[in-house]
Copies of this chain bind each other. A is one copy, B any other.
Amino acid sequence: MSIFGLIEYKDASPEVRAVYDDIMATRKTDHINNFWKAIAHDPATLKRTWESIKQIMAPGALDPLTKELIYMAVSVTNGCRYCIASHGAAARKKGMTPQQHAELVAIIGLANETNRHAAALDLQIDDQFL
């Protein structure tokens, strides 16, 4: 259960509706994720977070699918169930294939493994990397 409950479009203030409208227009969908409906209790955070996501996740030097894969790598490492589910759905919508998903999971696992090898051995950074 989301801690504050969810604010549906019909119950939203004009300020919140404006963000919901922009989300739906930008994403070409009529679905507002629970994330937005829960965070809408704090309109300032809703607006700021949406604008950050809109700017950061837009096509740029990295394509939208690659951006979602990076998002998932962070979310899995942090163990965020909601984020894994929602960004997994977003990645599939942007074309992630099952084989790409499998490779993503393998890399995330491997990096978490070797990160700890490096910590355990207190590795000094190679001069070449500085």
Contact = CB atoms under 8 A, between A and B. Distances in A.
A113 B8 CA distance: 23
A73 interface: yes
A116 B76 contact: yes
Given A103-B61, A121-B39, A112 B115 contact: yes
Nearest to A32: B126
B83 A114 contact: yes
Contacts of A48: 52, 55
Nearest to A104: B70
A25 to B, nearest CB: 19
A13 interface: no
A102 to B, nearest CB: 4
Interface centre among A31, A66, A74 (most CB of B within 10 A): A74
A34 B105 contact: no
Interface in A68-113: 69-86, 88-89, 97-100, 102-113
Interface of A: 1-4, 31, 33-35, 38-39, 41-42, 44-45, 48-49, 52-53, 55-57, 60-62, 66-67, 69-86, 88-89, 97-100, 102-126, 128-130
